């Protein structure tokens, strides 16, 4: 299969590219704008793989998108390119509207035009897989059932609102134009190569450096955590097998509140890298909550598990330890990011 993967140098996208190149015979056109959170290093050996080609371009650039379709002739699109950090969306929502809404529209328009020119067999095989988030569903309170494929949308931040808009556009192109689309929504991902503005890498790095560990509010906000490599495997299975028009919620059944996540990071690092000043929980500080901070996200992945014969391989503790090991072994990567002064104001916030 010839896969056009947008955002393939981002956190989740690079995990998908690595999995495709290691575990399948698919060819990849990696279409990435290479914004602050993208890294060619995250492709690892895939960056020089004969079945991989990187095109540096913006998904809002209609001419560049059309050229990618015309030259590569994809059999499927995996659309992961997105602005994804909630704090950034609060401070600067325009970039989120441009990338997440206009960018998705641009891809859909190009895909529709491209599919119209395919043979009947090519049209039947083609898939447009749009990868989204559980944040489009809003927030859960304690005791409420987890999000599932039929949960009503109720986005609360500029980030989640733009992702909800992109989801609606994708489904509209299916119902109106017959474009063969798949939508998947996932929980919070974590693992290697995650840009250090998100909760887990930010806390790991700050704890390594024995800096304050800022936690929003009282730390009781709950997230459902999925190891990124487990997610990548599910996404590739979906694009290979799913039927058009379907939605799949992908999760690992691993909910934890933010404070417990930070404490777990401290405990693992205390064991692996003891501090002469004592346990790292002393570094935890509670900071003013961010506007519109959703209380709880959790996904019921039963449908995806059944359809794909897939479950997440990593429980949270094992995945977190593997992630910490990775950040300990790749300090040159995140230290270089830390050194970029124009990101400094973003890297000091809690999540």
CATH of the domain at 28: 3.40.50.720
Say what the pLDDT of residue 339 is.
82
205: in domain? no
100: in domain? yes
Say what the pLDDT of residue 340 is.
76
Q: What is the rounded CA–CA span in Å between residue 342 and residue 345?
A: 7
**Residue 252 backbone class (left: φ over 0; alpha: ψ -120 to 50; beta: rest):** alpha
pTM, rounded to two decimals? 0.95
34: in domain? yes
The number of folded domains in the chain is 1
Catalytic residues: 134-135, 159
92: in domain? yes
204: in domain? no
Which parts of the chain sit beneath pLDDT 50? 341-351
Tens of pLDDT, residue by residue over 221-236, are 999 999 999 999 999 9
DSSP SS3 for 230: helix
99: in domain? yes
Nearest to 233 by CA among 306, 312, 149, 180: 312
User: Residue 75 sits in which domain range?
Assistant: 2-194+225-254+295-314
343: in domain? no
284: in domain? no
Q: What is the rounded CA–CA span in Å between residue 267 and residue 303?
A: 35
**Residue 60 backbone class (left: φ over 0; alpha: ψ -120 to 50; beta: rest):** alpha
Say what the pLDDT of residue 318 is.
96
């Amino acid at each position: 299969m010839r896969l056009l993967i947008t955002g393939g140098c981002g956190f989740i996208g690079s995990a998908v590219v690595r999995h495709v190149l290691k575990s399948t015979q698919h060819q990849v056109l990696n279409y990435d704008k290479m914004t602050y959170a993208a890294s060619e290093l995250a492709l690892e050996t895939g960056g020089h793989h004969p079945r991989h080609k990187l095109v540096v371009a913006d998904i809002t650039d209609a001419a560049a998108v059309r050229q990618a379709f015309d030259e590569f002739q994809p059999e499927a699109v995996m659309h992961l390119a997105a602005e994804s950090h909630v704090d950034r969306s609060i401070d600067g929502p325009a970039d989120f509207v441009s990338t997440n809404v206009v960018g998705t529209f641009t891809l859909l328009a190009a895909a529709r035009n491209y599919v119209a020119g395919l043979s009947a067999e090519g049209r039947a095989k083609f898939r447009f897989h749009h990868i989204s988030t559980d944040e489009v569903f809003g927030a859960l309170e304690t005791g409420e059932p987890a999000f599932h494929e039929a949960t009503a949308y109720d986005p609360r931040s500029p980030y989640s609102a733009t992702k909800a808009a992109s989801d609606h556009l994708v489904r509209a192109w299916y119902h109106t134009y017959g474009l063969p689309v798949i939508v998947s929504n996932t929980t919070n991902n974590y693992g290697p190569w995650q840009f250090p503005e998100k909760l887990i890498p930010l806390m790991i790095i700050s704890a390594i450096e024995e800096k304050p560990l800022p936690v929003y509010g009282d730390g009781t906000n709950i997230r459902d955590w999925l190891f990124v490599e487990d997610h990548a495997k599910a996404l590739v299975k979906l694009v290979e097998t799913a039927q058009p028009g379907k939605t799949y919620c992908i999760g690992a059944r691993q909910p934890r509140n933010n404070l417990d996540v930070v404490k777990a990071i401290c405990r693992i690092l205390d064991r692996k890298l003891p501090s002469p000043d004592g346990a790292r929980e002393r570094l935890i500080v509670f900071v003013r909550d961010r506007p519109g901070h959703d209380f709880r996200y959790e996904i019921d992945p039963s449908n995806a598990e059944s359809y794909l014969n897939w479950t997440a391989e990593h429980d949270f503790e094992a995945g977190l330890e593997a992630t910490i090991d990775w950040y300990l072994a790749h300090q040159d990567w995140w230290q270089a990011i830390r050194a970029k002064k124009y990101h400094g104001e973003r890297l000091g916030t809690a999540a």
